[in-house]
Amino acid sequence: MTARVDPQRLARELDTLATFSDEPAPAVTRIVFTDTDLRARAYLKSLCRDAALSVREDGVGNLYARWTGTDPHAPAVATGSHIDAIPHAGRFDGTVGVLGGLEAIRALREAGFRARRSIDLMLFTSEEPTRFGIGCLGSRLLSGSLDESAGERLTGGDGRSLNDARADAGFGDSLALVPLASDAYCAFVELHIEQGPLLERAGVDIGVVTAIAAPSSQRIIVEGEGGHAGAVLMRDRHDAFLAAAEIALGVESAARASGSDDTVGTVGVCEVFPGAVNSVPSRTTLAVDIRDVDLARRDAVLERVSAACRETASRRGVNVRAETINADPPTRCEPAIIEAIEQACDARGFTHQRMISRAYHDSLFMSRVAPTGMIFIPCRGGLSHRPDEYASPEAITRGASVLADVLARLST
Ligand code: HGY
Ligand code: MN
Ligand code: MN
């Protein structure tokens, strides 16, 4: 049996999905639970129903589209990813894994394959941290890494709680019902663009992910003394923005000091209050993202940043406090799935290489409830989270074909 992915069908659906955006093409902005997100979800559900998959959604909007196997009670196999997109993003991050997963399932069915284990296509809610401040919200909840108290505790930028936002979006079931049964799945495989340059540079078709980096994010709030930009003498100032600026540079030097390319640190958000040109900032809030595949190295960077905060606070006479949003351990992918991906590549004559993922993915949390693997495809220049993010139809087709073969093997 050879599953033949339909490149035109897959490309057409990716093009259509990209039109659900709150920004004009080529940018994609698709924030969770917005009307745009809900219309994109409705489109995906229509495709799943056209593919005769049975669709259900849980209380946070995670979607499960099932191709029931001949042994419907056996632990199932799953694939999937996300369709939410950060502001001013591209059209392939996440969507390749969702529509590529659907295409892999259709290709298997069209090749006459009959799975013993059911195969689920999953769409995870809010993989991006944009609205609720924490990444992988849906997969955290279904893997039990976040409990139902998140419903009231997490609020979006608009001040509305997760519970209010999900109810408005039509997801009213209790979050207590979201966690998966421990034997729900025997394997999970996610197809995703690499979001880095290594595969393209090496001219390799497929990346076989061996580990996913340990992400952490925190809010650092700096409070100084405001005042009139003209009247307050420089020697009398406790400028909250300049203190935060020093801390931001401290994040960079703390990450660089680790000496490993696998350590990264980013200050992606900086909110200055009151934000007037002629007012000395009295408060500045930074959002800081620090990652490494090595947990001890990642935590050493966090400690260096805390030390920088303490030193800056005392020297500049400001108050600095840090709130941890998440600090997750890394994960290793399942050796048997790594091998299945490599063998599928060999059988199709695709080149492949093992690699780590510095981006986090829903696979990071699915690995807590099932043996997990990831298939990467190259993206042009390694660019991602930008409108010029691009993966070729050939690369996407190769990724979906390998995924189909791996799903077939895991579901027998
Ligand atoms: O930030 C990440 O790693 C993911 O793309 N949300
Ligand atoms: Mn992303
Ligand atoms: Mn992604």
Residue 157 has pLDDT above 90, yes or no: no
Question: What confidence tens digit (pLDDT) does each residue in 173-221 have?
Answer: 999 999 999 999 999 999 999 999 999 999 999 999 999 999 999 999 9
Same domain, 341 and 394: yes
pLDDT of residue 212: 97
Q: Which residues have a beta carbon within 5 Å of ligand 2, which is an ion?
A: 93
Determine, yes or no, domain membership for 1: no
As for ligand 1, residues whose beta carbon falls within 6 Å of it are: 127-128, 135, 359-360
Same domain, 132 and 192: yes
pLDDT of residue 257: 96
Residue 2 neighbours by CB distance under 10 Å:
12
Q: Whose CA is nearest to atom 5 of ligand 1?
A: 359
Out of 128, 325, 389, mutate this one to test ligand 1's pocket (max ligand atoms within 8 Å of CB): namely 128
CA distances from 322 to 128, 219, 287 (A): 21, 6, 10
pLDDT of residue 82: 98
| DSSP one-letter code for 146 | S
Residue type, 227: G
DSSP conformation letters of 169-199: TT--S-GGG-SPPTTSEEEEEEEEE-SSSHH
Same domain, 44 and 111: yes
- Side-chain half-sphere CA neighbours of 158 within 13 A: 10
Nearest atom in ligand 1 to 361's CA: 4
Same domain, 238 and 199: no
Same domain, 349 and 262: no
Question: What confidence tens digit (pLDDT) does each residue in 366-410 have?
Answer: 999 999 999 999 999 999 999 999 999 999 999 999 999 999 999
Ligand 2 centroid – CA 268 distance (Å): 14
Could you tell me the pTM of the whole model? 0.93
Ligand 1 centroid – CA 360 distance (Å): 5
Ligand 3 centroid – CA 172 distance (Å): 26
What domain range is 147 assigned to? 7-212+331-411
Q: Where are the beta strands (DSSP E) in 59-201?
A: 63-67, 76-81, 85-89, 119-123, 185-193
Domain total of the chain: 2
Same domain, 34 and 147: yes
Out of 83, 84, 95, 127, mutate this one to test ligand 1's pocket (max ligand atoms within 8 Å of CB): namely 127
Instruction: Tell me the two tokens of residue 120.
Output: 């689920």
Residue type, 187: A
CATH number at residue 282: 3.30.70.360
* Nearest residue to 33 (alpha-carbon basis) of 25, 22, 23, 24: 22
CB burial of residue 345 (10 Å; 0-12, 13-18, 19+)? buried
pLDDT tier at 1, thresholds 50, 70, 90: confident
